[in-house]
Chains A and B, each alone.
Chain A
Amino acid sequence: MAEVIRHTWQVLADDYSTAGEASASLKKVLKQLGFAADIIRRVSIAMYEGEINMVIHANGGTASAEISEDRITITLADSGPGIPDVGLAMKEGYSTASDRARSLGFGAGMGLPNIKRCSDDLKIETEVGVGTTLTITILA
């Protein structure tokens, strides 16, 4: 059976300083597994943007990664407010981030578009008032 490696991280609400730790530790694993620099870069950007999204919008959540030989699947699950209009959220520059998030230099409306750009497949399951789950696939 093909080997699959799984990692899970908790992303805390409103914690801008530790956001990025999941991304950094996933990067270390991918380097040890010998994935190409470009793949590692795309994974780390998508993961980081996802982490930040959960910090800004969703009271935190869970980030997990499933690594197999030919692909990396990242799941970012939160029980936040959900995305009312996914089409709008995917538009570059569109943002519903709070003033506080913007004052910290986040919320430029590039999160989802950036994730989309870095992934080979992006699945968004969202329900207003229930939460959002992003499933990002990056092929190696």
Chain B
Amino acid sequence: MKQVTHSVTLETDKCIGCINCIKKCPTEAIRVRNGKATIMSDRCIDCGECIRVCPQHAKKAVYDPMCEMDRFKYKVALPAPTLYGQFKFAQDVDYVLAALLDIGFDDVYEVALAAQTISDHTAEVLPEAKKILRDPLISSACPAIIKLISIRFPELVDNVMKVIAPVELAAIAARREAQEKTGLPPEDIGVFFISPCPAKVTALKYPLTYDKPVVDGVLSMKEVYGKLIAALDKIDEPPRLSTAGFRGIGWASSGGESRAMGEELFIAVDGIQNVVKVLDEVETQKLHHVQFIELNACPGGCVGGCLTVENPYVARTRITRLSKMVKPELDKNGVDPLKVAASEVMWSNTLEYQPIMMLDADRGTAMRMMSEIEKTAATLPGLDCGSCGAPSCHALAEDIVMGIAQEGDCVFKLRERMQALFDEMMKVQAYMPPTFGVRSAETEEETAEKDLEEEKNTGTAGAAGTAGMTGSAETAEDAEAEAGSEGSNGANGSEGADPEK
């Protein structure tokens, strides 16, 4: 299998082995082992949910440092439209674009502009696609969703639109434009995306649906933010730089992509857990009347990406304001069709189902494992507490059968075992081997003699003798009671005591 590399990684030192991330992962890709979270690489879709929930900030996204830019003579920034919503004091998009030039980029190419082209393309292919597909066409813009579908929704792989993401189109166009402008060889031109999320970092560096990466680096919005804030301060009258309209800028938040197409029978779903529910419904054909589904892994859409700075709700409102300020004629703009051919907008590789949830390639074996899993799961408490390091009791049962966990990992099972061991210990402790019994009978005789002595002293007439094998810690009263109730024993006892009388 192809080695998958991820942007989402763990800072081991910071991880305390709590269970916050394992419970939130939509593909159950995280387990706690040796007190630290570990990510199963083939299951991770880089959605960033674990980054969002980690109270220790031990999960992080890996991206390129800004100094990567220095490798190139001519540097082009590809700002995601989400970037525009991050700044309180940016009066319009031109301010943000001018600030990018100020921090060291030689040119900017708006991803929002490419988004408008993708919207046009989608609107064009939709009627044709709907003839073939019974169910809705699914947006291919969010890479975390593409990966989610490829591992969890095999039936929907064909419903995903086979077009590259706006950032990829922007990168191709930006590179060609820069080559034309400067006459420099391609290796001197550096094209950098400013990303709101780790999923886009991974998707651009290790593309799934085409072969060669189209960008030279992916920077984090968080990191660039600090530099831009300082630069924005210095900008008074930015030049006219913006090329994208309302349609493209709107892509930053959930619903923007669908609106840009002018599609009415669409739904826009945000937040990975909501997405999973909706995809389940698409699979059962519950949503066949819907034409197009826009899916964003992050809450609120890209503005909710975990590499952004601004609260997504504030960013969303700001983006709405900014997109209303741009000139309406910019809505008609798009990527120069002479620079990027329509065929280049399509994926060159097909999206394939990765059956990583499959227990075994041989169905007979998989069935036996499944039976075993169900049997094991039935013995677990079903509380899904996560203390075993797996996200649910069922996941632990799967892990046990797959040999990567054991029953004792369950704290309740461990307690049961300890209780059983304890009971066993008590039994062992209480049992007296025959040889011990003889020895203890001797000592008991001595005690019994003492007891008799005492009884004589207190004037109680008693026939208490050795109470047989029942134990040596009995008090005089116990011995008395026994002598009274257990006839034969008592008689034996009397026999023993007789010579004394």
Contacts and interface: CB of A to CB of B under 8 A. Distances in A.
B357 A32 contact: yes
Nearest to A44: B284
Contacts of B371: 3, 5
B381 interface: no
Interface string B282-319: 01111000000000000000000000000000000000
A27 B283 contact: yes
Contacts of B355: 31, 34
21 contacts: A3-B367, A3-B370, A5-B371, A5-B374, A24-B280, A27-B283, A32-B359, A32-B370, A33-B358, A33-B359, A33-B366, A34-B355, A34-B359, A37-B155, A40-B283, A41-B155, A41-B283, A48-B284, A48-B285, A69-B363, A69-B367
Contact of A5 (B155, B157, B358, B370): B370
A69 B286 CA distance: 28
Contact of B366 (A23, A32, A40, A41): A32
B104 interface: no
A64 to B, nearest CB: 14
A128 interface: no
Interface of B is mostly: helix
Interface in A30-50: 31-35, 37-38, 40-41, 44-45, 47-48
Interface bin, chain A: 20 to 34
A139 interface: no
The CB with the most chain B CB atoms within 10 A, among A28, A31, A67, is that of: A31
Contacts of A67: 367
Interface residues of B, number: 26
Contacts of A38: 155
Interface of A: 2-5, 20, 23-24, 27-29, 31-35, 37-38, 40-41, 44-45, 47-48, 67-69, 114
Given A5-B371, A48-B286, A32 B155 contact: no
Interface of B: 152, 154-155, 157, 280-281, 283-286, 353, 355, 357-361, 363-364, 366-368, 370-371, 374, 398
A109 B72 CA distance: 64
B157 A31 contact: no
B353 A37 contact: yes
B284 A31 contact: no
Contacts of A69: 363-364, 367
A45 B154 contact: no
B278 to A, nearest CB: 12
Contacts of A44: 155, 283-284
A101 to B, nearest CB: 15
B366 A34 contact: yes
Contacts of A3: 364, 367-368, 370-371
A14 to B, nearest CB: 18
A2 B364 CA distance: 8
A23 B355 CA distance: 19
A50 B374 CA distance: 24
> Which 8 pairs show the lowest CB-CB distances between chains A and B?
A3-B367, A37-B154, A48-B284, A34-B358, A41-B155, A37-B155, A33-B366, A24-B280
A67 B361 CA distance: 16
Given A44-B284, A45-B284, A34 B361 contact: yes
A33 B157 CA distance: 19
A23 B364 CA distance: 23
Contact of A40 (B155, B286, B398): B155
A45 B134 CA distance: 13
Nearest to A45: B285
A20 B360 contact: no
Given A5-B367, A31-B357, A33-B367, 12 more contacts: A5-B370, A23-B284, A31-B355, A32-B357, A32-B358, A32-B359, A32-B370, A32-B398, A33-B366, A34-B363, A35-B363, A38-B155
